[in-house]
Chain A
Amino acid sequence: MRDKPLLRVENLKTQFVTENGTVRAVDGISFEVYEGEIVGIVGESGAGKSVASMSLLRLVDNPGEIVAGEITYKGRTIFAAEETEDGDRRLQDGVLSAETVRQEIRGNEIAVIFQDPMESLNPVFTIGGQLREFIELNRDLTGDEARKEAIDMLREVGIPDAEARYDEYPHQFSGGMRQRVLIAMALACQPSLIIADEPTTALDVTVEGQILDLVDELQRKYGTSFIWVTHDMGVVAEICDRVNVMYLGEIVEQAPVDELFYETGHPYTKALLDSMPRPDRTVTDLDPIRGVMPEAIDPPPGCRFHPRCPDAREVCRQVHPEPAEIDRVDGFSHRSACFKRDVFDVGYDESPPLDNLARGESERGQEASEVASGGGASE
């Protein structure tokens, strides 16, 4: 068995109430983060990766709300609630107040890095000024000490000529340099966990490479844990220790990184890997996943992937698979939410195959028409 996890998320549900209905953006996900590891959350856009990561610090704004689940961090309960019969939620006793989460957990214990650094940097203040202020607010340093620490941090994240650049404004920094500044801010309070939501997605590959190396180096040096949100399987392979694959609000597969690629458990993960052009070898035929991910407002019944799954059977349309352990590697479980595995006893083998998009029984035109009407506009 492993040590206790740093962060444990259980059955987390986050929803948005919109005029068209309730968007079940995150719908009952569970995962852990242990000390010193980089845990990936990977999936297509709209899968719920960002909402999931924002929920961890209760940063979801109206009309979004965490409606159920439990988030514990170092034994403290960031969130715990149950859905009541009438669909309301009831907070449990002993949950930290939103105020406490903001003051004691955010920054000091868990820091966040977003995709767009400009969201986190104020364009009218200098880089150094903002970093210094952040350090003053969060640590017992003031004035020159905080300034010195800020310059050291800039240097630490590889900003050349840190002393001079301390006085520059965000617009004078390139995208990669700004992302380094955010990393400096995230590290400034020596948190145990950093949540990074697609921090390199907007960067050029050479700059992304520099940032990934930096993270690797810092992670080794400080032992910080990361939750790394990305849609890029290359990034996952490169830096993650364990991975959660999200599809339509759910975690469909969870595995140590090598297992995920070499002992792939879920057809969606496999389809993602097969549809990807490769930089390291020439692929002559890509095998795309048919159709698009439906809206989280109206997820398909049963297995949410069934309309696009090449292995779908009748039972997949009727029963909803929860992730179940299919293997254990180095004390970590490999979970998959797919009936193909023996651990599920729902009669998958006897169930008749479904005629669906992925079987190619429908022409591309029809596939597209189904997709276009998915959002409500029906023909």
Chain B
Amino acid sequence: MSSDSAQSGDSARTDAHGRPGGDTEAETMVRVDGLKKYFRSSSGLFEGLSFDPSTFPPIHVDREPVKAVDDVSFDIRDGETLGLVGESGCGKSTLGRTILRLLTPTEGNIYYKGSDLAELSGSDLREMRSDIQMIFQDPQSSLDPRMRVGDIIEEPMWAHGMLDAEGREARAKMLLEKVGLDPHHYNRFPHAFSGGQRQRINLARALSVDPDFIVCDEPVSALDVSIQAQVLNTMEELQEEFGLTYLFIAHDLSVIRYISDRVAVMYLGNIVELATKEELFENPSHPYTRALLDSIPVPDPRDSDARGVLEGEVPSPTNPPSGCRFRTRCPKLIAPEAYDLTDREWTDVRAFMRAVDRRTIDAAPAAELREAFFEQGVPGGDAGAIVEEAIELVATDDSAASQRSASARAKWDEAASLLVGSFADQSICARERPAYEVEPEFGDGRHFSACHLHR
């Protein structure tokens, strides 16, 4: 820990939404500030067609937009690999594409080497476009099967008017060699290559215009482990040799742990935690990060840690939970202050509330419900009264009517909204958006955590 740290304790609240890891020592390559990307869904019944409201004025859309990326701020430093991890659909790819301006931001700014990307035009824009490149997950579909490898690699140089034909060919061959392919393959078609080799061709193509920054979107996810390791090693070598900065997007935490210097964890359009790799994996401070880490099957049959299991599913990004987005599944959801519940009481109430809300339980007589959820008895006071009212609503004691009847369902709904409204919605987790700095235990990089437990 550096002694001149600006923080006074381990719970200093960051300003605004925090600029996790925005240290000034290392030079900033990319600065993302308050970035939002919303998609308007059109009225297709099965398919939501998304388009960009700022380039294509929406005609008339009543629907709520899909908030794929919702107010995200962070820095990517010169020469580092920033890992971006999260479950599918949490906004990782949208964030990557918006940073590249393949998608226009709904709000917020992206600065590349200090200049606002939105304000670039003409030759500056062209230069920036060649400076930042992207490689995608599926090496199959991102290579045009009718083009020869050489042409695939030279295409971006050609588009940017780089070198003459001879120079381009020489560079393409040099890059083939650098990415671990045979320069003699210059005239081959993509189908002659395996998945790992196709990803290498993609790397060569991205490198052709001499970029400084590459967004890698699940670049090894489709590859077998042994091939994955080869490609990861090549990517590291290239980073060293060409001084590259990577934003490395993956859902696989093992890959992220291997390749990254710092790691950002994304959940439902927000970054919930950001820290140096060792700190994030050894001292995870956000309940979502912990849940992710706990759910990975560890390749060691003697690993005795019971794997944790995260309940429920990711909510819709159209109408995300208020405050902390993870709160509907969080095992640590903080008790609302109004009721003065003990930890044990709150654990019971929370479990009961969620079971009713998710309908993971069957209707049963009141006594059975009490026994199942409140072994130590229903808490007293206002909280207890609310719980009893909910039990009354869902209990089957005096209704012979089928639980499938409309009135039974209506009562169940009423109980669910009573419980959620009285407890979950009153928690600080629902009322304020969390953003805190945590004291790091490993190294002295900054550690950002969007969780009120650190308040």
Contact B301 A277 (CB under 8 A): no
**What's the Cα separation between A50 and B361 when bound, in Å?**
37
**Cβ contacts under 8 Å, B362 to chain A:** 155
Contact B254 A377 (CB under 8 A): no
Contact A238 B307 (CB under 8 A): yes
- A120 touches B (CB below 8 Å): no
**Cβ contacts under 8 Å, B259 to chain A:** 277
**What's the Cα separation between A155 and B360 when bound, in Å?**
8
Contact A45 B182 (CB under 8 A): no
Given known A-B contacts A237-B301, A261-B301, A364-B180, A208 and B313 have beta carbons under 8 A apart: no
**Cβ contacts under 8 Å, B142 to chain A:** none
Q: How far is the CB of B29 from chain A (nearest CB, A)?
A: 24
Stretch at the interface among B183-191, B240-248, B443-451: B183-191
Stretch at the interface among B9-17, B48-56, B291-299, B367-375: B291-299
**Cβ contacts under 8 Å, A171 to chain B:** 46
Contact A288 B233 (CB under 8 A): yes
Which residue among A204, A262, A271, A379 has the maximum number of chain B CB atoms within 10 Å of its CB?
A204
**What's the Cα separation between A100 and B66 when bound, in Å?**
51
**What's the Cα separation between A209 and B404 when bound, in Å?**
31
- A372 touches B (CB below 8 Å): yes
Q: A44-B224, A260-B301, A368-B181 are in contact. List 19 more A-B contacts (CB 8 A).
A: A44-B227, A161-B360, A207-B313, A208-B297, A233-B225, A234-B254, A234-B298, A237-B297, A257-B301, A276-B254, A277-B258, A278-B298, A287-B229, A288-B233, A292-B196, A369-B184, A369-B185, A371-B194, A372-B181
Contact A375 B182 (CB under 8 A): no
Q: How many chain B residues touch the partner (CB < 8 A)?
A: 63
A-B Cβ contacts below 8 A, count: 183
Report the nearest B residue to A238, measured CB to CB. Answer: B297
Contact B295 A277 (CB under 8 A): no
- B116 touches A (CB below 8 Å): no
Cross-interface CB contact of B183 among A237, A239, A273, A365, cutoff 8 Å = A365
**Cβ contacts under 8 Å, B185 to chain A:** 368-369, 372, 379
- A210 touches B (CB below 8 Å): yes
Contact A288 B253 (CB under 8 A): no
Contact A377 B300 (CB under 8 A): no
**Cβ contacts under 8 Å, B291 to chain A:** 206
- Residue-wise, chain A 136-178 has the 8 Å CB interface mask toward B (1 for contact) of 0000000000000000000100101101100000010010110
- A99 touches B (CB below 8 Å): no
Contact A377 B46 (CB under 8 A): no
Contact B224 A277 (CB under 8 A): no
* Chain A positions near chain B (C-beta within 8 angstroms): 44-45, 155, 158, 160-161, 163-164, 171, 174, 176-177, 204-210, 212-213, 231-239, 257-258, 260-262, 271-273, 275-280, 282-283, 286-290, 292, 364-369, 371-372, 375, 377, 379
Cross-interface CB contact of A238 among B188, B193, B229, B298, cutoff 8 Å = B298
**What's the Cα separation between A257 and B303 when bound, in Å?**
12
- B197 touches A (CB below 8 Å): yes
Contact B226 A232 (CB under 8 A): no
**Cβ contacts under 8 Å, B295 to chain A:** 205-206, 208-209
Contact A44 B192 (CB under 8 A): no
**What's the Cα separation between A217 and B88 when bound, in Å?**
26
Contact A273 B184 (CB under 8 A): no
Contact B233 A206 (CB under 8 A): no
**What's the Cα separation between A209 and B296 when bound, in Å?**
7
Cross-interface CB contact of B225 among A158, A160, A276, cutoff 8 Å = A276
Contact A280 B298 (CB under 8 A): yes
Cross-interface CB contact of A174 among B176, B183, B225, B313, cutoff 8 Å = B313
**What's the Cα separation between A364 and B231 when bound, in Å?**
12
- B106 touches A (CB below 8 Å): no
Q: How far is the CB of B231 from chain A (nearest CB, A)?
A: 9
Q: List 13 A-B contacts (CB under 8 A).
A: A161-B358, A205-B252, A206-B309, A206-B310, A209-B296, A234-B254, A262-B301, A280-B300, A282-B258, A290-B230, A371-B194, A371-B197, A375-B192
Report the nearest A residue to B360, measured CB to CB. Answer: A160
**What's the Cα separation between A366 and B252 when bound, in Å?**
30
**Cβ contacts under 8 Å, A283 to chain B:** 257-258
Given known A-B contacts A206-B292, A369-B182, A277 and B232 have beta carbons under 8 A apart: yes
Contact B88 A204 (CB under 8 A): yes
- B37 touches A (CB below 8 Å): no
**Cβ contacts under 8 Å, A45 to chain B:** 224
- B403 touches A (CB below 8 Å): yes
Report the nearest B residue to A47, measured CB to CB. Answer: B224
Contact B253 A205 (CB under 8 A): yes
**Cβ contacts under 8 Å, B294 to chain A:** 209
Contact B180 A365 (CB under 8 A): yes
Majority-rule SS of A interface residues: helix
Contact A277 B300 (CB under 8 A): no
Contact A237 B299 (CB under 8 A): yes
**Cβ contacts under 8 Å, A289 to chain B:** 226, 229-230
> Which 4 interchain pairs have the tightest Cβ spacing?
A209-B295, A288-B229, A234-B297, A161-B359
Q: How far is the CB of A161 from chain B (nearest CB, A)?
A: 4
Contact A210 B226 (CB under 8 A): no
Q: How far is the CB of B284 from chain A (nearest CB, A)?
A: 12
**Cβ contacts under 8 Å, B183 to chain A:** 365
Contact A377 B188 (CB under 8 A): yes
Q: How far is the CB of A254 from chain B (nearest CB, A)?
A: 15
- B63 touches A (CB below 8 Å): no
Contact A205 B87 (CB under 8 A): yes
Report the nearest A residue to B300, measured CB to CB. Answer: A237
**Cβ contacts under 8 Å, B307 to chain A:** 209, 212-213, 238
**Cβ contacts under 8 Å, A272 to chain B:** 225-226
Contact B182 A372 (CB under 8 A): yes
**Cβ contacts under 8 Å, A239 to chain B:** 297
Contact A273 B251 (CB under 8 A): no
Contact B233 A233 (CB under 8 A): no
**Cβ contacts under 8 Å, B302 to chain A:** 258, 261-262
**Cβ contacts under 8 Å, B297 to chain A:** 208-209, 212, 232, 234-235, 237-239
Q: How far is the CB of B273 from chain A (nearest CB, A)?
A: 15
